[in-house]
Amino acid sequence: MSIPGDPFGGLGGDAAGGIGALFEQAQKMQAAMVAAQEELAEARVEGSAGGGLVTATVNGGGELVDLKISARAVDPDDTETLADLVLAAVRDATTNAHKLAEQKMAAATGGLGDMLGGMGGPGGGLPGLPGGFPQLG
């Protein structure tokens, strides 16, 4: 039940207790997000193209960390196809990294990422992490 004029909108019988519980919940979510960011920094995600002729590996932030090219993909007379395969493999790996980041952050925020805007959902604000997840801590 909300009390008329209650600036806390009825966050509980005791406004201070309601705010304290909300603050505690926010701290837990922040810790979970930091842990998820640390996991993403260590994660390695692959993508491939040409039926595995080119395989790219990126970290959880989408940074390219490894690239493997099969000798079968190398044709000195057709470097354009090789370039296209490399681009496709890197894009595939980056897309996979973004999906992983979204999953980790959704788990960390309990699915509240979209409601939090720049506080943990896609479209937020940390350069270098997929979806723009904010640096907390």
Structural domain of residue 80, as residue ranges? 16-111
Closest CA to 69 of 97, 81, 98: 81
101: in domain: yes
Question: Where do runs of H (alpha helix) occur along 43-133?
Answer: 79-109
23: in domain: yes
pLDDT at 2 > cutoff 90: no
CA distance 21 to 92: 42
Number of domains in the chain: 1
Q: What is the pLDDT of residues 84-126, one digit of tens each?
A: 999 999 999 999 999 998 888 888 877 665 555 544 444 444 4
- At how many degrees (to 10) do helices 79-109 and 15-42 cross? 150
CA distance 98 to 76: 33
Statement: the pTM of the whole predicted model exceeds 0.75: no
